[in-house]
Amino acid sequence: MRRPLLATLLLCLSAGAGVAAVSEAGATYDGTICVDAATGAMLSESKADWPGHPASVTKLMTMLLVLEDVKAGKTTLGTPITITRASVGTGGSMVWLAVGEKFSTDSLLYALMLQSANDAAVALAIDRAGTTQAFVARMNQRAAELGMTHTIFVTPNGLTYGKGPHDTTTARDLAKLGVVLVAIPEALRYTSTKTYTFRPGPKGVNLTNHNHLLASFKGCDGLKTGWTVAADASMVTTAHDGDRRVVAVVLGCDSPQGAKAAQRVRDQMAARLMTEGLARVALLDEQKAKLQALSARTTPVAPKPKTTKTVEEPGFFDWLGGLFSF
C-alpha cells in the first residue's frame, strides 16, 4: 500500500534546480532511492524494495544489452537494422517505423532514449535476439547478474496494459541498473542529448528528450523517464558535480491532479534526491579528507633502529699475519 507524500517533502528544493513546483497534496509513490554512482552506496531511501512498474524506464535495460553487444563486437552502432512487421504499430510513443525501412543501431538508440519509442525498442530487441521473447529472456538474465533480485521484465519497452502482466521492479533494483549505465560513456551520450532528428527528410521526426531535468538541473545528463496508466510516473536520473555523481530513482509516482502533475511531482522528487545526494557525497568526502589528514599528523614515526658494528674475534690468519708484521 502506498503512503501519502508529506506536504513538506519537496519544499526544500533549491531554486537552482529549476523545477517548476506543483502541489503534492495526495500524491503517492512506490519507492525512492539515491545512491553514490561510484560505489553504489545508499545515500537515502524510502520503500526502496517495494515493487512497482517501471513503464518506459524498462528501456534502460534494452539499451544496456545493445551497448554491451557493441562492446563485445557482436554488432556496431553503424549496423543497419531492417524493420520487420513485428516492430510496426506497437502503440504508445513511437517514431512510426515502416516495414522495410533501414536504420542504424545508433539512430534507433536515439529514438529509444529521446522519443521513448516503443517500436524502436522492438526493432532493437528483434535484431539482437531474433524475437522479443528471446530478448526479454536476455533482459531477465542480465538483471539477475546485476543483483536485481526483485525484477521481472515482460517487454523490451515497458508498454503494458490493464491487469498485465507488467514489467515489475523496485527502486533499489533500478539504481543498480543505473550505476552500471552511468559508467558507459555511450549510454550518457544518448541520455544527455536533448534533441535529435530521426529519419532526416520529408518524413523526419524531430525528437525531444522527455527528461526535463536535463535543462533545469545542473549536471544532469540522464537517464530515463516513464509513464503509463498502469505504472504511473517513474524516473531513473543522474547528475554529477565534478567527480561526484549520484543516481536517483522515483518509482510509481501518482497524483490526484492527473498524469502531468504526477510527472512533475516525480521530477521534483528526483531533483531533491540528487540535490541532497550530491551534498551527502561532498560531506562524506570532506570527512574522509579530514580523517586522513588527522591520521597523517598523529601517526607516530617509528625510530630508526640503531646499527651496531659487530666486532669479530681475530682468526688464525689474523694472528699469523700479526707475527710477521713489522
Q: Which residues are catalytically annotated?
A: 56, 59, 116
| Residues in contact with 196: Cβ distance below 8 Å, sequence separation at least 6, in sequence order | 110, 111, 114, 206, 207
Q: Supply φ then ψ for residue 313, to 5 degrees.
A: -70, 145
The DSSP symbol for 113 reads I
Extract long-range pairs of 208-211: CB within 8 Å, 24+ residues apart: 208/114, 209/113, 209/114, 210/114, 210/115, 210/116, 211/235, 211/237
212 close to 267: Cβ distance less than 8 angstroms: yes
For 190, the enclosing helix (H) or strand (E) is helix 185-192
CA–CA gap between residue 202 and residue 116 (Å, rounded): 21
C-alpha cell at 156: 523490451
Q: Supply φ then ψ for residue 269, to 5 degrees.
A: -65, -45
Sign of the Cα pseudo-torsion (5, 11, 12, 17, in order): positive
CA–CA gap between residue 110 and residue 21 (Å, rounded): 29
